[in-house]
Structures are given as C-alpha cells and as structure tokens.
Chain A
C-alpha cells in the first residue's frame, strides 16, 4: 500500500518535472524567437536611423560608421531650410497631398455610396467601368496626360500635378464595400424625416463609415506625398517641385554633400514617420481594413 503510494507520488513528480522542463524549453525557444524578431526589427529601422543620425552630423563625422553623432548639430537643417527651396517643396507637397486627399475622399465615397445604395439601370455598368480602370497602369496614362496638360496649359501648375489623382477607383471600390454595412433602415428613416438624398449621404451615411474614410485618407495621402513619376513629368520650374522631385534634383546637383541629402531625405520622411508613431494602432488597423477589403 505504502509502496504503491510512493510509486504514484514518484510518477506524479516525474511528469511534473518533465512538464516543467518542457515549459522551460518552450519559454527558452520563445525567448530566442523574441530576440531574433527584435533584432530583425532593429535592422529594419537602421537605414532610417542612419539617415537621421547623418543629418545631425558635422561634415567631419559623416563617414564614420558610428550611429550616434559625437557632436550633434542642427547646422544641416538650418542650411537646407535657409536655402528656402526645401521649404517651398514641403509646402507644395503638403497642399497638393491635402487637396487631392480631400477630393478623392469626397468623390470616392459619393460614388461608392451611389453604387451601393441606389437601384437604377446602368448601375452595374458604371461600377464595372470604374473598376476596370484599376487594370490600367498610370505609366500608360502619363503620355496622354502630358499632351492634355500641354494643350490646356496645365503644365507646371498645382492643378497639373493634382488632376490625375482627384478620384480613385480603389477608393470607390473600398467605400462601396463599407457602405454595405450601413443599414438601409437608417437611410429610410432620414428620408421620412425629410432630408434630401445629398443630406442623407452626408449627414447620416458618411459618419457611419468614418473608420473606412480614415483608412482611405491615409493611403491616398501617403500615395500623393510620395508620388514621383507624374510630378517629375509635369513640373519644370523648381518652384513647383514636390518634395520627392525636389530631393531628386537636389541630389543630382554637383558636389552636394551627403549629409545635406540625408537632411533633405529626413525632411521628406519625418512627417509621415511621426504621424505613424502617433497614430500607430489606428494606421495599422486602417491598412489591414483597406488592404483586405480593397
């Protein structure tokens, strides 16, 4: 009897020990996994870290491989901003990206809403027609756009840079998906209350898809902020360059120091990076939402 008890106890402690060992092993594996992931993440941001650190270095230190500047300075930023061009390009990019984003949000959601909530003949054809433009690469359109801009005098103007992006088929598709989640009863109730169709869309439906609008806004703003090919083609005077076009022309000038190029790169990147760090969770949710539904 006593022997049997002892056996049971030994067996129990044995399994316990084994389970403990297995858990220890698992947590060790988990620790290694965590360390590797973290190291990978650090490597991922290294290029950004070097860009910022170099923009804070004096010329004598630029080619040292140390990440932390020995004598950090804002001299490069003062120099680049006093030069004035980067400030102008920054303003151009900001204005253009903001207007295009607002326009696309307005029209994409209006069209998405109409195609989702109205029953009329031709609805399907309009939807397919708009969707089919997703298959056409921008590169195919830039030549005709350039010809158009030339004949209408849109070259070298804000309007010329902006007009291709005022509406997006992706946004229409995304917003149409999201308006499906708005119950028709709400719209019907508003209709009975005497709101007209525009008011129903603007005052009732739009507030209900705010998360989708925000997600779309991030994508469109980022796309316009970083756009390069079309602004490069349509602008010729440096005053109208956007940040990417300006940075490219700045980098190509003879004898531009690398620390100044890094400063320019930092100026065109930091706003979106900081924006991301502030609204991180929200942006990632938006990216997933737009990515998966779109």
Chain B
C-alpha cells in the first residue's frame, strides 16, 4: 500500500519503502508506538521525572536561589522533631477520621431513602448534587461569611434572632477544624449519593423478592443483603473520600487566609504546611520531604482500606 502515510508521532519508520515491507502486525506496532510517543514523553517529563526529583530533593537543602546541597536525612529529622508537624499530622487525620465516616453515613442514608422515592425523584437528587458542581474556593468564602460573628455572619445572626448565645467558629481552636470540614463534606455528598444509588440499583431485585417471601424485616434486609452487596461501592467511596480529606487544602486556605491554618495551627493540614514551607519560606528540600510523607500516608491509608474492606 504505497498510499499509507507514516504515523503522526515521532517514530517515523524511515522511507515508505521500508514501511511497505513490514508485515501487517509490524505496521500496527509502528502505529501503536507512534500514537504513544507524545504521551510517553509527557508522562516521563511531567510525571515520572518530577516524582524522582521530589524524592531526591527531600534529601537536599535548597532555597530556590543557591545550589542544591546534600543534607542526608536532615529534612526528615527536622520534620520528626518539629512540634508543628505533629500538630499538622493530627489535624490531617482529624479531617480524615471525621470527614470520611460522617459523609459515608449521611450519603448512604440519603441514597437508601431517595432510592425508594419516585415523586420528584430527579429534582430532589439535583438538590443534593448541586453543591458538587461548585468550586471549593467560592464555597469556602461563602461559608466563611456564614461563620462570622454577630452582626455579620449568617449563622450567628440566626442564633441571635432566636436568643441563643453566639458561637465562635473560625476563631476558636476547637471549633475551627469542624467548621472548615463542614463545607468539604457538604460539597462531596452529592457525588457519594449518586454512586450509592447506582450501587443500590445494581443489586438484583430477586434478592429482595426472596426476602419478602420469607417475611424478613426491612432492617434485616438492609444489614444482611443490601450492605454486604454494596461492599465494592463502599470500598470505592471510602478510598476516594479518604484521599480527598487527607489532601484538604482549598477550604482551609481560603477560610483562614488571614492566618493560614490558624488559629494557632489548629486547622492546618499537611498540604497547607507543604505550601507554606515551599512558597512562603522557600525551604524546598524540607517541603519535598513533607510531600514524600504525604505520599506515604496516602499510599498506606489506601492499601489498609483496600485490605480491610475487600477481604472478610
């Protein structure tokens, strides 16, 4: 076939004559590598090289201007000895351990009931899903306004109008973290509800009919049939939302931007610490070490969850 053009990528097989002599299978292989050439370049330069670079940098010291100098394990030693890091570590896990179960339970309860409702089903579903279509930054500012003191913030104004003493949300070291978590949970519920409902739909009707004939209570059906069959869906949602809460940043940064992660570091998650170390203090090696720790945390948490939830 002399009209055959060479592949679009960089893997040009030389002159048409050479290409024409290849077998059909070989020609297809040439095309395949041609298609993959640019993407492979992208993944090597934009994903793999930077990953290696971050790991190497975590053993170095660098302030973005001078030379990169080897520091051995210094960055990691500093990190372990840094009380702020441990505070940040606790905060990060507080987001995870509060956020994941709360959003899982709420979204399941809503999905379970919404699944059995026909009237205006689509409209109600849309109401729950809408917050998912928003940007975290915009919503962080909306909620930040809600949380202000009297006479500005909506929540405290509402409390005041019914005579309840006001609550300090973002200025309190104990209330600020849950207050920041709330909009993060709120925005993610819609997605989880949709996934749960798809999971519920996938359970064959015959299981329920059999249970009905046996006269089993709906509570038993829920625990003995629905939840066990939903395990893959639950695993998926737990892993995905855990990764999300461990990487929380936009909400915290925008709701506490006068003193990011404050008050007194009580809301600071690991990603915010990384951002500040790298782009406020320009301590690049130290920040890279923190990103490696984040990577390890994400990996370990996902693997543990997959193990725990998949087996048994």
Contact = CB atoms under 8 A, between A and B. Distances in A.
B278 A198 contact: no
A247 interface: yes
B216 interface: no
Interface stretch (B79-87, B95-103, B112-120, B165-173): B112-120
Contact of B8 (A38, A133, A167, A198): A198
Nearest to B126: A280
A261 B145 contact: yes
A114 interface: yes
B5 interface: yes
Contacts of B131: 44-45, 47-48
A81 to B, nearest CB: 16
Given A140-B292, A148-B50, A265-B139, A114 B36 contact: yes
B211 interface: no
B207 interface: no
Contacts of B46: 141, 145, 163-164, 166-167
A44 B291 CA distance: 34
A80 interface: no
Interface stretch (A2-10, A17-25, A266-274): A266-274
B284 interface: yes
A120 B7 contact: no
Interface in A121-170: 121, 123, 126, 129-130, 133, 135-137, 139-148, 150, 163-164, 166-167, 169
Contact of B198 (A65, A110, A275, A292): A292
Contacts of B113: 33, 36-37
Interface in B28-64: 28-29, 31-33, 35-36, 38-40, 42-43, 46-51, 53-54, 57, 64
B138 A111 contact: no
A42 to B, nearest CB: 7
Residue from B54, B116, B275 with most neighbouring chain A CB atoms (10 Å): B54
A16 interface: no
Contacts of A196: 4-5, 31
B294 A107 contact: no
Residue from B46, B53, B247 with most neighbouring chain A CB atoms (10 Å): B46
Contacts of A280: 122, 126
A60 interface: no
Interface string A78-105: 0000000000000000000000000000
B177 interface: no
Interface in B152-186: 152, 154, 157-158, 161, 183, 186
Contacts, number: 263
Contacts of B249: 139, 228-229
A252 B53 CA distance: 33
Contact of B294 (A50, A51, A121, A139): A139
The DSSP consensus for interface residues of chain B is helix
A211 interface: no
Interface string A260-294: 01101110110011011100110010011001100
B198 to A, nearest CB: 4
A225 interface: yes
Contact of A291 (B8, B139, B195): B195
Interface residues of B, number: 97
B136 A251 contact: no
Contacts of B36: 111, 114, 126
Nearest to B246: A137
B137 A34 contact: no
A50 B53 CA distance: 45
Interface of B: 1, 3-5, 7-8, 25, 28-29, 31-33, 35-36, 38-40, 42-43, 46-51, 53-54, 57, 64, 110, 113-114, 116-117, 119-120, 122-131, 133-139, 141-146, 148, 151-152, 154, 157-158, 161, 183, 186, 189-191, 194-195, 198, 236, 247, 249-250, 253-254, 257-258, 271, 274-275, 278-279, 284, 287-288, 291-292, 294-295, 298-299, 302
